[in-house]
Amino acid sequence: MSENKKAIDTLNKDDLIVISGAGGFIAGALTRYFHEQGFKRIRAIDKKPLEDWYQLIPGVESLTLDLSQRDNCQRAVEGAVEVYNLAADMGGMGFISNFRVECLRSILINTHMIEAAYQSGAERYFFSSSACAYNTELQQDPNVRALKETDAYPAFPERGYGWEKLMSEIFCQEYWAERKLKTAIARFHNCYGPHGTWDGGREKAPAALCRKVIAAKDAGKTEIEIWGDGGQTRSFMYIDDCVRGIDLIMHCEDLIATPINLGSSELVSINELVDMIEDFADVKLERKYKLDAPRGVAGRNSDNTMINNILGWEPDTPLKEGMKKTYTWIESQFQDRKAGKKTVS
């Protein structure tokens, strides 16, 4: 932990931080996180028009650039001391199951961004990987054992999205080994929270289920549709834990070019998650299970032994606490949309 503190102290509040994917959920929250810490020069990048960004932070240089294009990456990282690459075409299980080519094409973003960061003289580079990089054969049982970092090999990740993440991790490792660019790699496990996607096909299970329960209650309906049989298990990490973890991992000398889990270890089934949301809404709904819908692996959980040993920390926001905040925010978004107001998604 002393090395981590030493590294943080070397970053000046006037140093330029570049964050890609900043019009979306996690990178938008990360932009706000660093801004609130007092960093004065932050460049936020996303390919979406500014009016479609989930969060626009006053005082942050916000640019619309498609980072699958090499020239745009060079423009994005010019003068940067640290680069956080969270840009990717991705979404919930429905999206990554049906648009694997789009997910694979995100490798262009990391390929061009890491080279541009190296050429520009950036000191550190962060890549947002995913638990989808893990061997799917280890995730066939809802009572799954928690996944350790070594479980990514022998490689058999999720098609499309998982392979893109695994290959991009290798790029980060080789840029350190061969070119001495300090890279950091976090494998995200299902991040959720306010200011995230909650409708439209790219949302993840916590947001989708909140929306379904809210919509059913609002319409006076008595049932909701659940993808799969409800027995699938996952761990879900609250957004505040995610951005704190990114900071700690990026600035730890012991984690250079070393993939590490960033996720909660609190395992829950989809049915249990629905139970929780129904309690928030004070309703009880009949569940219609759509067994032919994309459901992903049967079970996935984060083994946090490594992050605890190295950082003395792990994501620890209780699921019920984070989900209550998320439900309340989505409910307000739902009502705003009904009233004709602009919403996140």
Between CA 214 and CA 141 the distance in angstroms is 30
- Per the CB < 8 A criterion, the answer to whether 240 and 303 are in contact is no
Indicate if 161 belongs to the active site: yes
Between CA 111 and CA 293 the distance in angstroms is 33
Q: Radius of gyration over alpha carbons of the chain, in Å? A: 20
Asked whether the CA dihedral 143, 207, 83, 106 is positive or negative, the reply is positive
- Helix 319-338 vs helix 270-281: crossing angle, to nearest 10: 60
Which of the residues 84, 134, 161, 175 is marked catalytic?
161
Asked whether the CA dihedral 16, 17, 20, 25 is positive or negative, the reply is negative
Q: Which three-class secondary structure state does DSSP give residue 45?
A: strand
Residue written as token pair 């996140």: 344
Between CA 108 and CA 118 the distance in angstroms is 16
Q: Which three-class secondary structure state does DSSP give residue 315?
A: coil
Between CA 301 and CA 238 the distance in angstroms is 14
Chain centre to alpha carbon of residue 311: 20
Phi-psi category of 121—alpha, beta or left, where left has phi over 0 and alpha has psi -120 to 50?
left
Structure tokens belonging to residue 63: 């640019």
Q: Which residues of 294-327 are buried (b: 16+ CB within 10 A; e: fewer)?
A: ebbbbbbbbbbebbeebbebbbebebeebbebbb
- Positions marked catalytic: 161
